[in-house]
Chains A and B, each alone.
Chain A
Amino acid sequence: MTEAVARGNGGVNPTLRALPILTVLLAIVVVWYGAAVWMNAPWVRDQAARAETTLTTGDLIRQTLTLERPVLPAPHQVAAGLWEGIAGQKITSKRSLVWHGWVTLSATLAGFAIGTVAGILLAVGIVHNRAMDQSVMPWAVASQTVPILAIAPMVIVVFASMGVTGLLPKAIIAAWLSFFPVLVGMVKGLRTPDAMQLDLMHSWNASRAQQFWRLRLPSSLPYLFASLKVAIAAALVGTIVGELPAGATAGLGARLLSGSYYGQTVQIWSALFAAAILAAVLVMLIGALERLTLRRMGLAR
């Protein structure tokens, strides 16, 4: 299988490939430090004026970067907050970002699974049934134009009134956001086989089920994976939004919210970064699965 290797994206030195990413990262950190100094400076100056002390520039910078409740925390403060939240707590503690992350992750995965299944089933219906083809899409589009921030509290409240709280209502909101990209991608994907492929199937007198399992579904996989990456990120956003309405005490969303109640900006930013890291890991996992599957199927582009 030497050909398989030659087709891959080999040959580029990994450190060389990382260089542009590192450069951008460095630039962001520099800008961020600048912004932290600039945005926290008024408060520091204010304090100094009240205490009737004068500040050197060095003092000013040092103090802007070490405030307990800064307007904008500095990168190292967020990093410390993240580290503290991840490694500094027992993972069962309510202050552990691992615990909150797990609460969010489990609802995200459940919602992602529901959304993916729903998206695929609707797409199959649309491709195989003319009535569904004409009726489902407008509703699906409409569902996405309703602001999720308005829907989420209603879902939470309705479920709570039925005595259902915790994972399920959040998973529903996550599914609400994640079914749509899967639906759109799969409708496109299931329709990729060209007329010739379908004619061949027809000339063999293949049933619709055979056509689906042997031709449409495999040809749709590149589209499915592309939309799964969007869907998992959307599911995470949905879950976090579902954790924002009052009453939630667990999850990265709740962590964001309580941070903003008490002006704990470091906590907010730590939770934000935890969410971003989670999203990146999830998308990368799907990307890895995609590469593996498509390469094995000879569909890698």
Chain B
Amino acid sequence: MERSIDTMQPVISAENISLTFQTADGPVHALKNVSLTINQGDFVSFIGPSGCGKTTFLRAIAALETPTAGTLSVAGMTPDQARRRRAYGYVFQAPGLYPWRTIAGNISLPLEIMGFARPDRQQRIARVLDLVDLAGFGGKYPWQLSGGMQQRASIARALAFDADILLMDEPFGALDEIVRDRLNEALLDLWKKTGKTIGFVTHSIPEAVYLSTKIVVMSPRPGRITRVIDSPLPRDRPLEIRDTPEFIALAQQVREGLREGHSYD
């Protein structure tokens, strides 16, 4: 599944976008003059202190917010056109599964909404359950599953309809280190198998470095990008890669980027 550089097409391109929220206490500049290009098949992590606009940027890509200035295009369309074409699988920090539907029923939900035929639905549900390592849990209800399993189910739901772009906003934020490691591995595996473009928000430097082909460091007030780091790490990444000098150097770079935006002081 190695891709050569020249087949990579830019899918998401942001040019000088700004996004200002008008609030009761005056305008909040969530994003200011942000430019970024994301290629087909990239795994892009967004990292930065709280309030720097990571969520806002992801939501703007998914057409859940509209930039107040600049142009944002997704596969040559506006984000909203891309949304109508069902280009996005969005994963939130909380699983947000319907308690009245089984896991399979939850994964089936977007498929029903998009009008997939029943046999096709069943096939897809089985496939994505397998992909997130939940085969055999389709008939269970969300409350019968652990938090980590629920989060995997919500990822399966986002994968089921084969959106080209997977956007994940701190999907593993609420999970413990060990579960997180496992899910990170599973996510990388899944990314290699499907070749999707992934946008991933995290607060963890090791997580960002481990997963990404591109790490975007942001800083707040106003929200902007301070550094874009292209990862030299290979696409095949065992967990042990985190002990290599390349990995540690990369993590160091990210940490410097964060400090540059005088973030955690």
Contact = CB atoms under 8 A, between A and B. Distances in A.
Given A204-B113, A204-B114, A298-B142, A218 B90 contact: no
Contacts of B142: 298
Interface string B150-169: 00000000000100000000
Interface residues of B, number: 26
Interface string A202-223: 1111100010001100100000
B143 interface: yes
B64 interface: yes
Contact of A3 (B96, B112, B114, B144): B144
A1 to B, nearest CB: 10
B98 interface: yes
A210 B111 CA distance: 12
B96 A298 contact: no
Interface stretch (A19-27, A183-191, A192-200, A252-260): A192-200
B109 A214 contact: yes
A204 B110 contact: yes
Pick from B62, B100, B142 the residue with the most CB of A within 10 Å: B100
A166 B224 CA distance: 72
B241 to A, nearest CB: 32
A13 to B, nearest CB: 27
A200 B96 contact: yes
Contacts of A201: 113
Interface stretch (B81-89, B125-133, B172-180, B215-223): B81-89
B69 interface: no
Contacts of A204: 86, 109-110, 113-114, 161
B92 to A, nearest CB: 5
Contacts of B137: none
Interface of A: 3, 196-197, 199-206, 210, 214-215, 218, 296-299
- Smallest CB-CB A-B distances: 6 pairs: A298-B99, A297-B100, A204-B110, A203-B90, A206-B113, A204-B113
Interface in B96-140: 96, 98-100, 109-110, 112-114
B247 interface: no
Contacts of A196: 92, 94, 96
A202 B64 contact: yes
A296 B59 CA distance: 34
B54 to A, nearest CB: 16
B83 A297 contact: no
A205 B109 CA distance: 12
B61 to A, nearest CB: 11
Contacts of A214: 109, 112-113
Contacts of B62: 203
A206 B111 CA distance: 10
A210 B62 CA distance: 20
A143 B109 CA distance: 40
A297 B99 contact: yes
A299 B90 contact: no
A198 to B, nearest CB: 10
Given A214-B109, A214-B113, A205 B100 contact: no
Given A202-B64, A203-B62, A298 B141 contact: yes
B64 to A, nearest CB: 5
Contact of A299 (B59, B83, B88, B100): B100
A298 B143 CA distance: 8
A205 B88 CA distance: 10
Given A197-B96, A214-B109, 8 more contacts: A196-B94, A200-B96, A201-B113, A203-B90, A205-B83, A297-B100, A298-B141, A298-B143
B161 to A, nearest CB: 8
A298 to B, nearest CB: 4
B64 A199 contact: yes
